[in-house]
Structure 1
């Protein structure tokens, strides 16, 4: 099975190598991702997130999924001393940094329930995979057609936060200013929920975020700081370097 669809504003690709996994499993994956976009996007006026942000949903009316997203937002806000914050002054509630990885991880769990063992789900460059090994390229933070490293992923996830796609879009909640201490940070973790949230949180923290991310359970880190120094934890699963488009 190999499918690509545009959801949440970016391409999401799915590859399943197991024979016998029904096509309905792929349908379920993309149906869930579209549902997550409808329910949790702050850019859709009628979404649960938008209604919550406007104060239209009382606490006893929140669905279990929204409660989980809110809990994750609060967990990383507290863990980073406020650098990661879904409630920035002057902006509406925006949990996108949590929802992307969380929803893709939920999709991967749907695949596993359907019998998939060797698969790769790439959500806008953040990857959750099973089986393998899969080789995943990490884009060079300043040269679009080059990689700065290649890693090997078996059962787990990898996410990168950087400035190269959307500019200074990650804000340090402690200062209200764009985070500029890092050019990119890549995190390998057991789930994409963790990898994506930790990568974004670390980037928001700036240079100190690398050590913080490395201290999170199960996380390995590869970062390039503003001085263009590479910082890497010993367990980061590097397999080599190369050129071309990131996987």
Structure 2
């Protein structure tokens, strides 16, 4: 068993691992991976692969396989959302962060599993991957922050072997833009998506938030996904089969 937290990608990434045995090597490799992703994919570090590509110092053929995968994911979700989700807005530098975090943390969970970990919760600033049950018959409990009350939650998701991601403006202000207009997203206060993996959950939550009101039905109708969404009128939109704890 182990519990740890490190500051990575500008946010706390915590691990609650319940398997018996020594997983120190797995934990070290997991956080090393996340720090490496931060170095290579941050749009705020001039020497990162993202920044060098954006400045034209690297061509497509020079890019790493990881970078190509992330760019393909960005393009996929841009098409899927009709342009609301975009890693490259007009007059703005390339910023794939909305895909990178979910992709990186999901890969980190895969590293833990490769070392034999079966029961853990990996939480990256509220975006979570869970595996197994912390106790027999009991799921992991993932709180959704109340959009108007920082110290409160508005719901608690029950999660086993899945992922939960939330997009909102309460932490970083109007940082999510609608790629179709270039203006700050409007209409929603909080979008939580529950899916089988964090790549899907994180990207869909961001895309739905960017879409505004139309993103509610759009996200809810994605195969294998459930949503908990609070709109600007403080109305809750919840998938009927969303498991709450």
- What TM-score do you get using the length of structure 1 for normalisation? 0.95
Q: Does residue 113 of structure 1 match 2:114?
A: yes
Partner of 1:35: 36
Partner of 1:7: 8
CA RMSD of aligned residues (A): 0.8
2:161 to 149, 155, 158: 155
Q: Does residue 130 of structure 1 match 2:131?
A: yes
Contact 1:21 1:116 in 2 (8 A): no
Aligned pair count?
239
Higher RCO (CA < 8 A, seq sep 6+): 1
Runs of 5+ consecutive residues of structure 2 not aligned to the other structure: 134-138
C-alpha displacement at 1:22, in angstroms?
Answer: 2.2
Secondary structure of 1:147's match? strand
2:200 to 176, 184, 194: 194
- Partners of 1:170 and 1:48 lie apart in 2 by 23
Residues 94-127 of structure 1, C-alpha deviation per residue, up to 9 Å, x if partnerless?
0000001100000000000001000010001110
Contact 1:121 1:127 in 2 (8 A): yes
C-alpha displacement at 1:21, in angstroms?
Answer: 4.3
Segments of 4+ moved more than 2 angstroms? none
C-alpha displacement at 1:223, in angstroms?
Answer: 0.2
C-alpha displacement at 1:226, in angstroms?
Answer: 0.9
Runs of 5+ consecutive residues of structure 1 not aligned to the other structure: 240-247
Partner of 1:139: 145
Contact 1:15 1:121 in 2 (8 A): yes
- Partners of 2:12 and 2:235 lie apart in 1 by 30
Secondary structure of 1:111's match? helix
- What TM-score do you get using the length of structure 2 for normalisation? 0.96
- Partners of 2:43 and 2:150 lie apart in 1 by 29
Q: Does residue 238 of structure 1 match 2:239?
A: no
Partner of 1:215: 221
Partner of 1:243: none
- Partners of 2:22 and 2:194 lie apart in 1 by 27
